[in-house]
Structure 1
Amino acid sequence: MESSKRNIYSFKFKDPDPRSLRDLISQMLPVYRINFGKNYGNLLSILNQRVDHTALVTLAQFYDLPLRSFTFQDFQLAPTLEEFERLVRIPMKNKPLFEGINEFLPLEIIASTLHMDEKEVEANLETKGNTKGFYLSFLLERAHTLLKAESWDACYSAIALAIYGIVLFPNMDGFIDMAAICIFLTGNPITTLLADVYYYISHRYTKKKGMIACCTPLLYQWFLEYLPKTGVWVEQTDVSWP
């Protein structure tokens, strides 16, 4: 019997540049990074995760569209809500789901969550493409100012929203769009993170190419959990992912 050959698809994973965010976090003492985690889970670990994109491109080749899983010769892998919840460390219980973008979201809701004045929100909400949002530069500048003033709740919220827009839900480079803002306001990113993985990979798989714009650090963390930590697999450093 002839062995079947697997088609190789031209996938790319969106690769946002988080260096400015990492530089900002590095200025915080460990105690404040710990306190950030009490409110926003494992976002800093996800931000600092170095991703081998070749590994994810290789993983995506094994996606099984009908089964919605990654199917290998002897086993299947499929990320779940429970796994993502554990990795992100933000509990889903009793939190609303993201039900869509609200471009007419009252300014007072955004202002209250970000510890901002409504006039400041209105002055800095910009339009890019078809949506409103904040430029990353604005949130970083605000977070720097708040960090120096030790206004921690406001500083944490600015950093967290920046991570949501640049790392968790990357859409436009350097811009936190209204989708990311609305998800941030729910306090429950887990369901949308998992939906993004399945949506983008399924969609690009049908096209046999294209950009997969999900949260790559989280998907990479999930994948690494299933790989051996010792033995021949780890020792063979000269073997490529494919």
Structure 2
Amino acid sequence: WDTVTVHVVDPDPPGSGRVWRPTQSRHLLMNTVSSQVTVYTDASVRIDGPLDEGPSLYEWAKALVSHTLEAAPQAGYDDGVLAEARRLGPDSYPTRALYGCYLTWAFQRVVAGAAAHVTGRTHPVRAVALHDDTPGGSTGEQTIVLEDGTRLTGLSAVVLAQGHVPAQLSDTERKLTEYAESSGLTYLAPANPADVDLSGIRPGETVLLRGLGLNFFDYMALFTQGRGGVYEEV
């Protein structure tokens, strides 16, 4: 092709997306240490395409605080981001908000470094439909319909990088919802804790958390440190 147009469709900011958005609570942590987090490839990665080396999250943070970060945003970062970047070690568990800043920076770096024949366009809206341009064909061009009515036509390739998507309630979860409603209780179905409104849970109320996955620790942090609590070693 003489020219290539890459459309990025996401109602949330490109790069971080919804899950890693920089505006979420800083009490929510990643489950991987900072030196092992990167969106870049190096000589250890075996791929068909070219390698694109870049900093890990830890290296990015150190470059940020030492004012050596390539293509640092002109608007800079707030005090919370800078403070975490300063204290971050290679074996620290960073906040998801900090990772979101890193992803946003990496996305902007990719766009800025694109070849002259490549144009990137972002669409801050949800895609609602995908159609084949040729009826009955699955190898020709396709069209994406956006929630605002925009149609992206003549697409040679479509990549569905959906990440975390909302799940339908299971039979058990529906029964729990109904029981809570009939008993004057609050039931929160499985979801990303960063997206859940916890204001209806008043101080001193008894809370039951089902399961011991990553969300358990997210809620523990939000119900304790997120409300001004502290942990002390005894």
Q: TM-score, normalised by structure 2?
A: 0.23
TM-score (norm 1): 0.22
Higher relative contact order structure (alpha carbons within 8 Å, sequence separation ≥ 6): 1
> Over alpha carbons, which structure has the higher Rg?
2
Larger helix percent: 1
